[in-house]
Amino acid sequence: MPASLSAAVHAGFVRTFAHPPTGLWSAPGRVNLIGEHTDYNDGFVFPFAINRSTLIGLSLRDDRLMRVASSFSAEVVEISLDEVRPENLHGWSAYPLGVAWALGQFGAELGEVRGFEIYIDSDVPIGAGLSSSAAIECAVAVALNDVWLLGFDRRALAKVGQLAENRAVGAPTGIMDQSASLLGQADAGVFLDCRSLESDVIPLGFDNAGLELLIIDTKVSHAHATGGYAARRASCEAGATALGADSLRDITMHDLPRAESLLDDETFRRVRHIVTENQRVLDTVRTLREHGPQSIGALLDASHVSMRDDFEISVAELDLAVETARAAGAIGARMTGGGFGGAAIALTPHALIPVVEAAVLAAFAAQGFTTPELFVVRAADGARRVE
Ligand code: GAF
């Protein structure tokens, strides 16, 4: 975490609340290497926590008031612990305050705990598909778990963050982002079974293979509380119901011919994306373990094609980023995150990073698209107290 972020949180906290915080907690954003929209289908994902994070300063109060402030807004939002409910939460403050509410929903005894002051800052780009929202939720979740002495483990905190996002923010998202932010480790990916919530931390080996993960933030912003994300989730649920399954996790590659004969074309393609994407996650993890990261490129490419053609969540900017990066030397590339904007990833030999960056910038300029932001991310440790 950059020292400047820590200094900014200290300064923001003191400016807002007129005294220093008693501690700082950080939680990273995440990038998903592969396994898109599989989490809410009880499937498999393989994200990693990144070296961009949200940092919060916190101190407890002597009363029941919660006061939150941030670098994203001039307002200080306050509400009593006795009033905190999803319907009373709005805007950016629903992320941190929703976590306080969600902890109570998971059995934390909030009747006696003290209120708090929190100041939030972040270097996770907002709207880029790198989970700036989960980073806020997880930083607040680990901080409150510490200061309220709640004793939740990380799997439970991931569910708390997800509930805050689903109910307080109103985005019907899965468990991937919070799990990556809480369970991530340096230089490793989090292979997560979203049904059992069992996870395995798997070394990525990018450094040894001379590879970097380049993020291409298209600057096309997306939101998961509205529109396409919820529609895709509904299609998956409809497909599972029509196939007599509890979730699409239970549909395998062998079931696809039957699915094609039973479902309308669009629902079938949504189902085929999830079924093949689950298989690609398993294949990626196996390939990484057996042959190293230089062998996973084709799986990343296939994932992008499936999201573009079957799940239909890509946009022209993402397709251009992926195609250009591949042509300029990336060994695999795909859009990442929920889609409809956000970022693409390109697994790229270290020496070719400037070449790929220049090619993408030129291609975007030639199309008249907004200039994308390009940067390399590394797999980093998950949420923790830092001061
Ligand atoms: C968003 C959601 F928050 C995740 O739960 C996941 O569904 C992802 O989109 C798509 O894989 O990040």
Nearest CA to ligand 1 atom 9: 338
CB atoms within 10 A of CB 201: 17
Average pLDDT on 249-266 reads 98
Distance 300 CA to ligand 1 centre (A): 17
Residue 30 CA, ligand 1 centroid: distance in Å: 11
- Cα Rg, the chain, nearest whole Å: 21
pLDDT at 1 (0 to 100): 73
Range name among 86-90, 125-129, 196-200, 359-363 with the lowest pLDDT average: 125-129
Contact 116, 61 (CB under 8 A): yes
Which pLDDT does position 150 carry in this prediction? 98
pLDDT digits (tens, 9 = 90+) for 14-63: 999 999 999 999 999 999 999 999 999 999 999 999 999 999 999 999 99
Residue 177, ligand 1, Cβ within 6 A: yes
Which residue CA neighbors atom 1 of ligand 1 most closely?
338
Q: What does the alpha-carbon distance between residue 45 and residue 306 come to, in Å, rounded to a whole number?
A: 15
Q: What separation in Å is there between the alpha carbon of 93 and the centre of ligand 1?
A: 20
Contacts of 128 (CB under 8 A, 6+ apart): 215, 217, 219, 337, 342, 343, 373
Pocket lining: 341 vs ligand 1, CB cutoff 6 Å:
no
Shared fold status for 3-202+381-385 and 204-377 = no
- 365: helix, strand or coil: helix
Closest Cα to residue 146, out of 86, 64, 62, 60?
60
Contact 169, 225 (CB under 8 A): yes
* Ligand 1 pocket, residue 39 CB under 6 Å: yes
Q: Catalytic residue numbers? A: 177
Residues 327, 322: Cα–Cα separation, whole Å: 9
The two three-digit tokens of residue 21, written as one number: 């915080």
User: Angle at CA 36, nearest 5°, toward 328 and 343?
Assistant: 45
Residues forming a β-bridge with 119: 57, 69
Query: Nearest Cα to 123, choosing from 72, 193, 84?
Result: 72
Is the per-residue pLDDT at 225 higher than 60?
no
Of all protein residues, the one whose alpha carbon is nearest to atom 2 of ligand 1 is 173
Q: How far apart are CA 132 and CA 54, in angstroms?
A: 7
- pLDDT tier at 126 (50, 70, 90 boundaries)? confident
Ligand 1 pocket member 310 (CB < 6 A):
no
Ordered DSSP codes for 29-92: EEEEEE--S-GGGT-EEEEEEEEEEEEEEEEE-SSSEEEEEETTEEEEEEEETTT--GGG--GG
Query: Ligand 1 centroid vs 351 CA: distance in angstroms?
Result: 31
**Residue 124 predicted with pLDDT over 70:** yes
Contact 339 CB / ligand 1 (< 6 Å): no
Class level of CATH domain 3-202+381-385: alpha beta
* Token pair listed for 352: 């070719």
Of all residues in the chain, what percent carry a pLDDT higher than 70?
A: 99
Helix H segments across 310-352? 316-327
Instruction: Give me 19's structure tokens.
Output: 């005294």
Model confidence pTM above 0.90: yes
Tokens matching residue 332: 């695999």
* C-alpha 40 – ligand 1 centre gap (Å): 8
Q: Is the CB of 176 under 6 A from ligand 1?
A: yes
Ligand 1 atom 7 nearest Cα = 37
Ligand 1, residues 40, 95, 177, 281: which to mutate, most atoms within 8 A of Cβ?
177
Alpha helices in 74-190 (DSSP H): 94-105, 132-147, 154-163, 176-183
Its ipTM equals: 0.99
Closest CA to ligand 1's atom 3: 173
Mutate-to-test residue for ligand 1 from 130, 136, 162, 173, highest number of ligand atoms within 8 A of CB? 173
Helix (H, G, I), strand (E, B) or coil at 174: coil
- Tell me the percentage of the chain whose pLDDT exceeds 90: 96
Residue with tokens 């220049």, as numbered in its chain: 358
Q: What angle do CA 177, 166, 84 make, to 5 degrees?
A: 115
pLDDT band with cut points at 50, 70 and 90 for residue 2: confident
Give per-residue pLDDT as tens, 278-322: 999 999 999 999 999 999 999 999 999 999 999 999 999 999 999
- Return the SS3 of 179: helix
**The domain 204-377 belongs to what CATH superfamily?**
GHMP kinase, C-terminal domain (3.30.70.890)
- At position 303, the amino acid (one-letter code) is S
Cα 200 to the center of its chain, rounded Å: 17
pLDDT number for residue 382: 98
What distance in Å separates the CA atoms of residue 17 and residue 3, rounded to the nearest whole number? 21
Q: What is the pLDDT of residue 223?
A: 67
* 174 pocket-lining for ligand 1 (C-beta < 6 Å): yes
* Domain residue ranges in the chain: 3-202+381-385, 204-377
φ/ψ of 67, rounded to 5, equals -125, 125
Asked whether the CA dihedral 180, 318, 1, 79 is positive or negative, the reply is negative
Q: Identify the pLDDT of residue 3.
A: 85
Tell me the CA–centroid distance for residue 260 and ligand 1, in Å: 26
Distance 210 CA to ligand 1 centre (A): 29
For the Cβ of 36 lying below 6 angstroms from any atom of ligand 1, the answer is: yes
pLDDT at 245 over 60: yes
Residue 139 has pLDDT above 70, yes or no: yes
